[in-house]
Chain A
Amino acid sequence: MANYSWPPMEKRRVIGKRISRLDGPEKAAGKAKYNSDVRPDGQLHGAILHSPHAHCRIKSIDTSAAKAISGVTSVRVVAGPGSEIQWANAEIAMVAARTEEIARDAVRAIKVEYEVLPHLVREDRLDRTGNRAKPSGEVVTGDPDAALKQSDVVHEGDYGIPVITHCCLEPHGSTVQWNGDKVEFWPSTQAISNVGGDLAKGIELAAGNVHSHMDYVGGGFGSKFQADVWGVQAARMSKESGGKPVKLFLERGPELTIAGVRPSVYAKVKIGASKDGTLTVWDSLSWMTGGYTGGGLNGDLFPYVYRNVPNRRINHTAVSTNSGGSRAWRAPNHPQVSYVTCAAMEDLAAKIGMDPLDMFMKNADFTVRPAVYRAQLTKAAEMIEWKKNWHPRGDKTGGAIKRGLGLAVGTWGGAGHPSECRSTIFADGTVELSLGSQDIGTGTRTIITQVAAETFGLPMSAIKLSIGDSTLPVSGASGGSTTVGGVSSSSRIAAINALGKLLEAVAPAMGVAADELEAVDGKIQQKGKPSNSMTWKQACSKLGVGKIQETGRNDPRNPQGLNTLGVGGVQMADVSVDIETGVVKINKVVAVQDCGLVINPKTAESQVFGGAIMGICAAIMEERVMDEMTGRCLNQDMEFYKLAGIGDIGEILVHMDITPDNDKRGVIGLGEPATIPTIACIANACANAIGVRVPTLPLTPRNVLNALAGRRMA
């Protein structure tokens, strides 16, 4: 069998190089067409009637006036009389029409009688959630009660991190054309190979009859794997409209409320240690909401990373609220549990009078990769000049601006998903790679092309890559940071297989066995005797009128050493807090990230920047504001749903752990781990600056000033 392993570090010409993403110019110039830009001929516009109530029953629905409007081609009721609605903005009916305005007019013309029912939309106070709270049972290891009694120091603290929403720049939705027995599907998706099957199931059509295409997606972050009711109904409306394509994308308000949220976590924590800072016990009572179904967070993740603390008691409760449901959100669970854990650990260190850096180091043996964390803590501390800049809790210098440092840790899997790639070499020297993957903004196009260019010894410009189409070989969904491992491995294998065939074809002419040949710098040459060579073009011409077509597969059960999983990461933050206004400014975030073999340090760092920026948003401004009075989300817009802009993020420094040891492990995904520790390290830096813990995030003027004044939240 061929040797698929990655070329040795020192021999790589394309892999490992800082190459700008191939689609950057297209995107920056506005030429890239997202599916929300696609406008097939005759396209109709869809609009949705959303529930104004958080909990209600539909008594009656009358669509006759909507149907009578000229230009309306389809009106579909999705929640008919008797249906119980469990969150505001849930879909009640959909309309397709010739123009967007007509579609909206028609939605307004639908008459619905609601029986309004009682709702619960807030979960921050567990004592007010009544029978909507479902405890998931106690998990105990060791003897937490005895440990709490015997520990030299015990810290008790409350921590909260609110629900935040998926807030993709390109909202959820698709354009669908159902004509005869064929469906053309242009979804905004993270799963181009599979999303058509999901649509087919929803519309009871043979899966093979759905053709999905997508070149670019404006953000998914875990929320765009399905066809969703919006895709299904757009298809049905297309059929009812004589097979014309129907475009149906969510508006901003629904996008923020029904297209997926990240669950909250609130926790009462007791954490103990001996005088020297060795952790002895973790005891937490936590609760959260992930919407009406409640769930979405695994309480057993506590304490995060430092899992092997000898004594542990976990009580976790899911609260069902009348609000839109959760969807995977970049590293599901992890940022929240990282916050609660790392905040409690820093608070404990402060109580002992210990530098938290020492505490995180000292207890590294309670993690599954002690050496990695120790090395990363050391590196991050050096980057942020911890020794020079850290001070015990509370900046004692004068003036209103207090500065502080904080740290936090993260961990993730990131093994490659199943992926199949087809590699074709044509007699004219052209090379094509095809796979049903998608570039969700991470640089997938770029890294596949790098792998192919490296393997064939060709410049990147010589590789033609096709992705984003369901007719291509099946490649996994982009979730769980699995894409880079999957597609780099399948394209490496496919390229080696194709190259092997080419070498066999030219071996006779070169007078040596195929395995004596290599592809380097646009040539096929004899190993150790480069003078015996021919150009790539000459070599390919030996194929006559034929072509070589080979496939390569990444099988997660046997990734052949090309990819693997399991990383740690450490981040540290330097913030300034104005204690007279409560405004928190980020000076610097440093991220040390271990991630195996790095195909492209530039796009890899870019992932870490993005992860850190999302963490900064959630740390200092982002929260979904639910209102018990109206049952509604009050900030379902980009005005009060605050996200950081370029001026708000400070400096971000990234250190990728590119070492021979890490490299040997193979490729590991990185999109998610990079966002995990950011929130916690910023929150810790704020506590270090102002001398008190701001228990509930985000670090807004209200939460910061309330903490400073000792005020409890209303």
Chain B
Amino acid sequence: MKAFEYANPTSLKDALGLLGSSWSDANVLAGGTDQISLMKDGIHAPKRVVNIKNIKELGGIKKAGSNLRIGATVTLDELAGNAMVRGEFPSLVAAARGVGSPQIMNMGTVGGDLCQRPRCWYFRNGFGLLAMKDGKSLVENGQNEFHAIFGGGPAKFVSASSLGPAFIALGAKVEIAGASGKRSVDAASFFKSPASNDDREIDLKPNEIVTGVLVPMAKTNDATYEVRVKEGLDWPYATASVSLKMKGSTVESARVVLGHVGPTPVVAEQAGSMLAGKSIDESTAAQAGEAAASGAQPLSGNAYKVQLVKTAVKRALLEAAKRA
């Protein structure tokens, strides 16, 4: 790990002032469950580390108009244990609980989950975000069991965030503060597929901080289904987060979002639109699963993930429908 300066501001303004114009100037530190590993592995080597956990306004879960505002430094454990979140957004609870290990849930934060870097083993072993060597994609030509089946661009890693797909399905917005003020973006457009090794996979500049997430408290039924092998300390192989707006027992509109199968969460438009006007049963849920998987372009070693998408979507829908 490269030696660095450690800053511990207590206000957002001070924190923003401590960030720089490039990622090598300064990095935000929240729970550190990813940032520390990135620094140890030499993937991030900032001159300064800015701890944001002592900034009050970044914490807390509260109602803000028609939204629930979840502060960026809210831990995964706080999120999963919060009564309002549990009552309104079971898809978020499932995504947070899926992380599984109490240590990571106690330290890891909502902002950190959205901003964490991909787990791609080429990236983490120092071959860059796009993992190219001699003009060839290492992922395409190498070992890609855990990689993307959606995206089509040069990025073949999968977005690591499990909360991202759930926030997108719920129509949430990400609040961002920068030197020039505040902005907010749809959770769906917060995630980006990078075109170069130096790009980030999120819509965030080096001198910006995610301050929180606004989740509309609309009456929807939501659920997340995760395909996991291990009970803890592992990542899902594929997830689906869904949110259904119901009219009686029929779906008025549906959002289906896939996780861990593309360089960003993948909004399965077709799966969502085909459900409109239908009721959810084994057969419609399975059809939506087929629709969600239809655009998949698996790599040499991950065709199995297409099946995982179908299953995750089907099971998430059936789960959400139970809540209707």
Contacts and interface: CB of A to CB of B under 8 A. Distances in A.
Partners in one complex: yes
Given A627-B138, A714-B301, A701 B127 contact: no
Q: Name the residue in B229, B232, B233, B234 with the highest tally of chain A Cβ atoms < 10 Å from its Cβ.
A: B229
A101 B39 CA distance: 13
A706 B231 CA distance: 23
Contact of B304 (A582, A621, A647, A648): A582
Contacts of B119: 639-640
Interface in A568-584: 580-583
B143 interface: yes
Contact of A621 (B143, B145, B229, B300): B229
A392 to B, nearest CB: 25
Interface residues of A, number: 37
A706 B301 CA distance: 10
* Interface of chain B, main secondary structure: loop
B143 A701 contact: no
Interface residues of B, number: 36
Interface string A697-714: 000111001100101011
A627 B143 contact: yes
Given A581-B311, A629-B133, A645 B301 contact: no
B307 A702 contact: no
A634 B234 contact: no
A673 to B, nearest CB: 27
B249 interface: no
11 contacts: A101-B3, A580-B314, A581-B311, A627-B138, A629-B133, A630-B138, A632-B125, A634-B143, A700-B145, A701-B229, A701-B237
A645 B230 contact: yes
Given A620-B229, A701-B237, A628 B146 contact: no
A626 B133 CA distance: 16
A126 interface: no
A642 interface: yes
Given A702-B301, A705-B307, A583 B122 contact: no
A222 B192 CA distance: 47
Interface in A103-117: 104
A581 B260 CA distance: 14
A368 interface: no
A363 to B, nearest CB: 35
Nearest to A636: B125
B8 to A, nearest CB: 21
A58 interface: no
Interface string A619-656: 01100011111101011011110101111100000000
Contacts of B146: 640
A428 to B, nearest CB: 49
B122 to A, nearest CB: 7
B304 A702 contact: yes
B179 interface: no
Nearest to B304: A705
B304 A625 contact: no
B21 to A, nearest CB: 26
Given A647-B232, A701-B308, 7 more contacts: A580-B310, A582-B308, A639-B233, A639-B234, A646-B231, A700-B145, A700-B229
A156 to B, nearest CB: 25
Contacts of B133: 629-630
A709 B307 contact: yes
Nearest to A583: B229
A648 B230 contact: yes
B204 to A, nearest CB: 24
Contacts of A645: 230-233
Contacts of A711: 303-304
Interface string B131-169: 001001010011101100000000000000000000000
Contacts of B145: 625, 700, 702
B241 to A, nearest CB: 17
Contacts of B227: 581, 583, 701
